[in-house]
Amino acid sequence: MSIATSSVASSNPTPPSAAEEELVENTRADAQSVGIVQTKFVDLFCPPNELVVTNGARLGPVRVAFETYGELSPAGDNAIFVCHALTGDAHLAGKRRADDRKAGWWDELVGPGKGLDTNRYFIICANALGGCQGTTGPGSVDPATGKPFGLRFPFLTVGDIVQVHAQLVRHLGVKKLLAVVGGSLGGMQVLEWASRFPDEINAAVCLASAARLSAQGIAFNCVGRRAIVTDPNFHSGDYYDHPSGPNLGLSLARMVAHITYLSENSIEKKFGRRLQHSEQLNYELMHETEFQVESYLHYQGSRFVERFDANSYLYFTRAMDYFNLADAYGSIEKALGRTNARFLITSYTTDWLFPTIQGVELMNALVAARRHVSFVELTSPYGHDSFLLEVDPLAELLTPFLEQTLLASRRKSQS
């Protein structure tokens, strides 16, 4: 897109109109967009080389949905894998169609000149194993029965998810990642990657996450799963051939979880006790959206059921519950001491789902293991969702961290 400018001078220039200002802003945005992207698919772990998951079950083939942005360097040393959080997917940035109203979930961070600069780096993001956006999951057809897996899908751990991600990276011809990046459940994948495949990454960026989920986090996940499995339309997980699935239960699970993603201050500032439709209380017991915060949560729940599968929610939350880096390797220090990768750990002041003390625990373990680690607690009012909502402070950290990692990697390869 180009903008025409006049060369005629004026002593009283006319201020730009709102439409002209919007055009300039859109032009800047377009220049930093990855544009139209296409989701790709590949089948991995084809028989007889099936994926063996943690509990010993075998799964294959595994179809993986993924997107890539930027170009892989001739040396293959500029690849970054982004691990999505609980309800994310492979659509990290850009739009799938020109008329899409919404771009990828981290579009503000990924693109030319952004924190994850696609002019410099080759970015990969894949829908996780067990998901519902193209990668094999409980809604996929079981080759043995010709019907969706449902709850017959193998139990998953974070390690199983990372196994599939790592195999995708190898399939794409990348021998060693410049970095693996992720927040929340994605951050758990980052930590697992560093310990399970210690020689396959140069850096690990763990955002708003921890070596294990707290008892409070497990409790909230329990309530969400209970809402789903007690929905009359759950049908023991075999709801795919029914007119309706457990939409009410999934919606309630999302509402409960969404509360944990926000901070008390952000909820109070955004909604307070403001009413939704009237200027005074109705004093009606069954009026569920009298307050604005109630309406907001109902909206979040109803939108969620349009794009997410209830069974995938069960599997992902259980994988989070079971993740414990110390148990798997003896201690956090031993787990993360397996790699020579550089680490960037962030926490957020208002995140009570993964509080700063857990980020400090990771930092201390890395220091004890004598590994390169940078830890930053970022100030944000947005709670756990801060890593998704406030990308500028994150970009300021990522830009020099990734540049230094790439420089160190190239120096090492030349020595």
Tokens of 372: 């390169």
Report the C-alpha dihedral over residues 296, 219, 165, 195, rounded to 10 degrees: 140
| CA torsion angle 326 329 332 337 (round to 10) | -170
Distance CA 88, CA 91 (A): 8
Provide the sign of the torsion angle of the four alpha carbons 340, 341, 342, 348, taken in this order: negative
- Residue 298 annotated in active site: no
Distance CA(35)–CA(159), nearest Å, equals: 33
Given 89, 231, 351, 385, the catalytic residue: 351
* Among candidate residues 344, 78, 294, 337, the one with its CA nearest the CA of residue 190: 344
CA 355 – CA 208 distance, rounded (Å): 8
Task: Report the C-alpha gap between 30 and 289 in whole angstroms.
Answer: 38
| Phi and psi torsions of 178, nearest 5° | -65, -45
Whether 384 is a known active-site residue: answer yes
Q: Please give the radius of gyration of the chain, using alpha carbons only, rounded to the nearest integer.
A: 23
Single out the residue of 173, 172, 206 nearest to residue 192, CA to CA.
206
- Gap between the terminal Cα atoms of the chain: 45
**Of 33, 140, 184, 409, which is the active-site residue?**
184
Spatial distance between the Cα atoms of 403 and 409, rounded to a whole number of angstroms:
10
Contact between residue 118 and residue 78 where contact means Cβ atoms under 8 Å apart: no
Count Cβ neighbours within 10 Å for each residue of 17-44 and write b for 16 or more, e otherwise. eeeeeeeeeeeeeeebbbeebeeeeeeb
Distance CA 341, CA 205 (A): 10
Q: Is 184 a known active-site residue?
A: yes
Residues 332-369 as b/e (b if ≥16 CB within 10 A, e otherwise) read: bbbbbbbbebbbbbbbbbbbbbbbbebbebbbebbeeb
Q: Which of 77, 258, 384, 385 is catalytic?
A: 384
Asked whether 200 and 76 are in contact (CB, 8 A), the reply is: no
- The length of the chain in residues reads 415
Catalytic residues: 184, 351, 384
